[in-house]
């Protein structure tokens, strides 16, 4: 039976929505398909005996976000609040990575607080800005929210456990006490490092989910030159060896 071109097009769009979830264009919400996410640097770990700078970002977080469809800007921890505000208004989300810093005293947490406060203010004003915290980042978000350290020490290490998801309500802030980025991008051979199909699936699901949240932000750099200068492509990751907790790091002063 003959169908008008418009009817055929509508049918194809419906099929695309069903099979691929490509329904964003059907909604009134305009998405940003060139998202840039900031990743917070932190002080060097004591176990890193050959650092190439005073702060670092594990490359696995950069790959995690790139795999979800975003580009990355490093957020350094030695800068001014004025520059942090400019960066906040230029990026579309923030990742607080795992690591090993003092939640109450570190420069990393001080900068996390600046971005956290900016994100609260922006979201309250209807300016969508998501944050993702992984492991230590989860702990930082809990500390920043409660204004105290809520950690309870346990006698459990390197243990893979079932995942339990709890929804948030007011702000697009998401935190996990596990490492979805490690399944695909970290290769140290130790208990708890899961490279199963299910583990990889959770990695890419988490990345795609958070990047889809970042697409709801319409912050942008004032110029293409400023955007280009800020991107992490200007830096080279350092291979730390197969026994390192992070197989590659980006270093900064």
How far apart (Å, rounded) are the C-alpha atoms in residues 215 and 219?
10
Q: Check the CA dihedral 206-209-212-217 and report its sign.
A: negative
Which tokens is 244 given? 């390192």
How far apart (Å, rounded) are the C-alpha atoms in residues 204 and 193?
16
Q: Name the residues annotated as catalytic.
A: 135, 179
The answer to whether the CB of 119 falls within 8 A of the CB of 170 is no
Which tokens is 109 given? 């947490």
Q: Which of 246, 251, 253 is nearest to 134 (CA)?
A: 246
Which tokens is 82 given? 């004025």
How far apart (Å, rounded) are the C-alpha atoms in residues 60 and 119?
24
Give the containing element (helix H, strand E) for 57: strand 55-58
Give the strand pairing for 55-58 and 42-43: antiparallel
Instruction: Look at the chain and count its residues.
Output: 253
């Amino acid at each position: 039976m003959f169908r008008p071109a418009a009817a055929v097009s509508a049918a194809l769009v419906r099929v695309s929505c069903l099979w691929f979830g490509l329904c964003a264009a059907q909604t009134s919400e305009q998405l940003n398909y060139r998202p840039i996410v900031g990743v917070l640097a932190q002080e060097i770990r004591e176990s890193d005996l050959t650092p190439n700078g005073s702060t670092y970002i594990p490359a696995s977080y950069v790959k995690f976000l790139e795999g979800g469809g975003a580009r990355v800007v490093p957020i350094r921890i030695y800068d001014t609040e004025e520059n942090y505000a400019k960066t906040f208004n230029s990026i579309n989300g923030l990742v607080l990575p795992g690591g090993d810093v003092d939640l109450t005293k570190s420069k990393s947490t001080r900068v996390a607080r600046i971005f956290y406060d900016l994100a609260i203010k922006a979201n309250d004003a209807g300016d969508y800005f998501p944050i993702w915290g992984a492991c230590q980042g989860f702990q930082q978000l809990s500390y920043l929210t409660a204004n105290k350290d809520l950690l309870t020490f346990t006698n459990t290490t390197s243990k893979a456990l079932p995942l339990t998801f709890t929804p948030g309500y007011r702000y697009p802030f998401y935190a996990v006490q596990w490492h979805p980025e490690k399944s695909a991008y970290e290769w140290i051979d130790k208990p708890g490092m899961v490279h199963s199909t299910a583990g990889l699936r959770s990695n890419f699901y988490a990345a795609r989910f958070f990047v889809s949240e970042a697409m709801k932000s319409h912050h942008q750099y004032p110029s293409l030159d400023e955007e280009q200068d800020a991107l992490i492509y200007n830096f080279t990751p350092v291979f730390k060896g197969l026994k390192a907790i992070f197989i590659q790091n980006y270093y900064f002063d």
